[in-house]
């Protein structure tokens, strides 16, 4: 008896995920839907750096030191790596509750609320937990049908609950959450350094050129691109350096942008941040040197569907019936 | 973490005998776990991954409390080890940062290695402890690390058994 295998395109779980994300590279890349501002970021960074490498670097390498362009290249590569890592990775999206879990939670809520009289509004769905001697309220998410873990929040743009939600950044085209916060911070930090670096060497270049012009009685105009670079860097500096400073402040206090905006731990009613270690070094270490959390959103797992192919091999049956334990762990990388 | 030992050295008695049902009432009673039971997260130690060790009432007739607590505590131990911020995590973080995190394309992170160990441990626990009692423990990673769920594997047997008995009664077999 010969086995008949009907080959069909494998459906991966990312194709059926709820939420407003876009996926690329067969589920490996995950971004928000609106990517226009992200393309602008890419254009500004790559454009400015290209002009710098094309026009300033040859002059500076010859007249000052070849280390200048080398360091600029390294910094540029680092900035791009951090940007792409922030933009393409799962920020820490919490998958929605499956029906059984949602029903279980509903039963728990009904049991906790008791009998609600007809016409009366049911009490708000809140769970109180104690974290480091502080009562923290966990809110129920009606979209995801879960009680949000502490520090998680629902992003309305991506329509997902994100763990340790910081903010949704249109410049990187993704949410910033638990899994990609450190890449976001390193991106802003390295971009600040790159901007300052380019700005400084543009000024140096202009000064050197004008000095040579004056000394050698040569008239030549400062290239237009240098002026363009200086303008871009000048305006970028204020925003990016400011942002880096703000996030450095948040990291030292172990707070998220979301908590800061809402004033969750502003100190009124003696409410203090229960997540802070009360030590700046420890807070920084936890945020920047903590473990790399896995993605709990199974994007690349194979969808379990009714198989029409008779006599599947043992290996493929095992894989299709139990995809998560074998294949998912390695796929929690990005 | 007061309770922590290497779970790979943990030995348990393997009982391969399935419970023997004298009548259908016993089967109904034992299959009272009609829906899945979910063990929620314990947030008392901040946001680290830790599950509640409180024994749920629904599992009362199905498994011994000590076995259940052992499983959950071992899982908590594994997750605690994965999320520990110490020398190894700093080294990994600094090395990765120095290579612009490109090294993670070729190297497995410590967390991923521990997740694999957890997966194997759960498989082992299912084979040795939970399957003989008609339960199935699911890996928390499949539920967004929110819950550990126990499913009843005897729902299928119950529905088949009930149908057969009814058929026998109808046809007076």
More confident residue, A244 or A136: A244
- Give yes or no: A25 in active site: no
Contact A215, A163 (CB under 8 A): no
Phi, psi of B7 (to 5 degrees): -65, -20
Tell if the CB–CB gap between A149 and B44 is shorter than 8 Å. no
Tell me B143's DSSP state: G
Residue with the bigger pLDDT between A327 and A193: it is A193
Which pLDDT score is estimated for B4? 40
Chain B partners of A160 at a C-beta cutoff of 8 Å? none
Distance separating alpha carbons of residues A308 and A185, to the nearest angstrom: 48
Tell me which residue of B58, B69, B59, B74 sits closest to B9, measured CA to CA.
Answer: B74
* d(C-alpha A283, C-alpha A277), whole Å: 6
The yes-or-no verdict on residue A314 having pLDDT over 70 is no
Highest mean pLDDT (candidates A3-7, A137-141, A184-188): A184-188
What is the H or E stretch that residue A67 is in?
A: helix A67-88
Pairing of strands A21-24, A29-32: antiparallel
Other C-beta atoms within 10 Å of A113: how many? 11
Each residue of A2-60: pLDDT tens digit?
A: 566 666 677 888 888 888 989 888 888 999 999 999 999 999 999 999 999 988 888 88
Give the pLDDT score at A311: 41
Tokens standing for residue A148: 């949000």
CA A301/CA B59 separation, integer angstroms: 31
In chain B, beta strands by DSSP E? 37-39, 135-138, 148-152
Percent of chain A with pLDDT over 90: 39
Beta strands in A174-324 (DSSP E): 174-176
Cα distances (Å, whole numbers) of residue A269 to A134, A139, A260, B85: 12, 20, 16, 31
* pLDDT score at A198: 93
pLDDT of A287 higher than 60 = yes
Q: From A133, which residue of chain B is nearest by alpha-carbon distance?
A: B44
Q: Report whether pLDDT(A325) > 80.
A: no
Q: Give residue A115's pLDDT.
A: 67
What local confidence, expressed as pLDDT, does residue B3 receive? 37
Q: Who among B46, B83, B146 is closest to A132 (CB)? A: B46
What pLDDT shows up at residue B89? Answer: 87
Provide mean pLDDT across the span A273-292: 87
Which candidate, A173, A178, A195, places its Cα nearest to that of A244?
A: A195
Q: Give pLDDT, residue A153.
A: 94
- How many Å is the Cα radius of gyration of chain B? 21
- Greatest Cα pair distance, chain A, in angstroms, is 93
Handedness of CA A94, A99, A101, A104 (dihedral sign): positive
Whether residue A93 contacts residue A162, with contact meaning beta carbons closer than 8 Å, is answered with yes
Supply the pLDDT for residue A125.
Answer: 83
Contact check, Cβ <8 Å, A333/B104: yes
Cβ-defined contact of B144 to A95 (cutoff 8 Å): yes
Q: Which residues of B touch A286 (CB under 8 A)?
A: 85
Element (H, E) at B110: helix B110-125
Which two three-digit tokens encode residue A235?
A: 């305006």
pLDDT tens digits in sequence order for chain B, 173 residues long: 333 444 433 333 323 333 444 444 444 444 444 568 888 898 888 888 899 988 888 888 888 889 999 999 999 999 999 988 888 888 888 889 888 888 888 888 899 999 999 999 999 999 998 888 888 898 998 888 888 888 887 765 555 555 566 666 666 65
The structure tokens 């000048």 sit at A234
Tell me the nearest-neighbour CA distance from A51 into chain B, angstroms: 24
Domain segments of chain A: what residues? 96-148
The SS3 of residue A181 is: helix
User: Are the Cβ atoms of A101 and B145 closer than 8 angstroms?
Assistant: no
Quick one: residue A196, left, alpha or beta (phi over 0 = left, psi -120 to 50 = alpha)?
alpha
Beta-carbon separation of A101 and B90 below 8 A:
no
Residue A24 DSSP SS3: strand
Lowest mean pLDDT among A103-117, A199-213, B96-110: A103-117
| Residue of chain B nearest A274, judged by CA positions | B46
Q: What is the ipTM of this complex?
A: 0.79
The token pair that represents B94 in the structure block: 């600094």
């Amino acid at each position: 008896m010969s086995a008949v295998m009907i080959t069909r395109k494998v459906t991966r779980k990312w194709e059926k995920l709820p939420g407003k994300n876009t996926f690329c590279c067969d589920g490996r890349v995950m971004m928000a839907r609106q990517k226009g501002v992200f393309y602008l970021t890419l254009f500004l960074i790559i454009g400015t750096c290209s002009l710098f490498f094309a026009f300033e670097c040859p002059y500076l390498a010859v007249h000052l030191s070849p280390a200048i362009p080398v360091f600029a290249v390294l910094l540029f590569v680092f900035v791009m790596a951090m940007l792409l890592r922030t933009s393409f990775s799962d920020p820490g999206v919490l998958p929605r509750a499956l029906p059984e879990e949602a029903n279980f939670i509903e039963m728990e809520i009904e049991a906790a609320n008791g009998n609600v009289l007809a016409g009366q509004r049911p009490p708000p769905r809140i769970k109180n937990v104690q974290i480091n001697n502080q009562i923290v309220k966990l809110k129920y998410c009606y979209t995801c049908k879960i009680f949000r873990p502490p520090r998680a929040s629902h992003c309305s743009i991506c329509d997902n609950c994100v763990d340790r939600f910081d903010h949704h950044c249109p410049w990187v085209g993704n949410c910033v959450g638990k899994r990609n916060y450190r890449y976001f911070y390193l991106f802003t930090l390295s971009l600040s350094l790159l901007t300052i670096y380019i700005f400084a060497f543009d000024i140096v270049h202009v000064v050197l050129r004008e000095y040579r012009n004056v000394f050698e009685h040569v008239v030549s105009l400062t290239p237009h691109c240098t002026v363009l670079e200086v303008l871009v860097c000048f305006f970028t500096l204020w925003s990016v350096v400011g942002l880096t400073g703000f996030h450095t402040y948040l990291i030292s206090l172990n707070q998220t942008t979301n908590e800061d905006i809402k004033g969750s731990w502003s100190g009124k009613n003696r409410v203090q941040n229960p997540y802070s270690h009360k030590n700046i070094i420890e807070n920084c270490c936890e945020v920047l040197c903590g473990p790399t959390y896995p993605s709990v959103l199974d994007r690349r797992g194979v969808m379990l569907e009714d198989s029409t192919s008779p006599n599947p091999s043992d290996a493929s049956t095992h894989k299709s019936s139990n995809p998560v334990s074998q294949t998912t762990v390695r796929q929690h990388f990005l | 973490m007061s309770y922590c030992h290497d779970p790979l050295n943990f030995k348990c008695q393997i009982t391969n005998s399935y419970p023997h049902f004298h009548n259908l009432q016993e089967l109904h009673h034992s299959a009272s776990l009609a829906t899945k039971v979910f063990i929620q997260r314990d947030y008392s130690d901040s946001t680290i991954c830790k599950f509640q060790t409180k024994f749920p009432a629904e599992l009362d007739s199905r498994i011994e409390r000590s076995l259940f607590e052992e499983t959950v505590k071992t899982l908590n131990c594994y997750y605690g080890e994965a999320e520990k911020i110490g020398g190894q995590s700093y080294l990994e973080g600094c090395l990765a940062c120095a290579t612009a995190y490109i090294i993670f394309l070729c190297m497995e992170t410590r967390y991923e290695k521990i997740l694999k160990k957890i997966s194997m441990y759960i498989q082992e626990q299912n084979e040795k402890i939970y399957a003989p009692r008609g339960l199935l423990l699911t890996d928390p990673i499949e539920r967004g690390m929110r819950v550990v769920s126990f499913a009843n594997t005897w729902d299928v047997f119950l529905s088949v058994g009930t149908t057969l008995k009814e058929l026998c009664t109808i046809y007076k077999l």
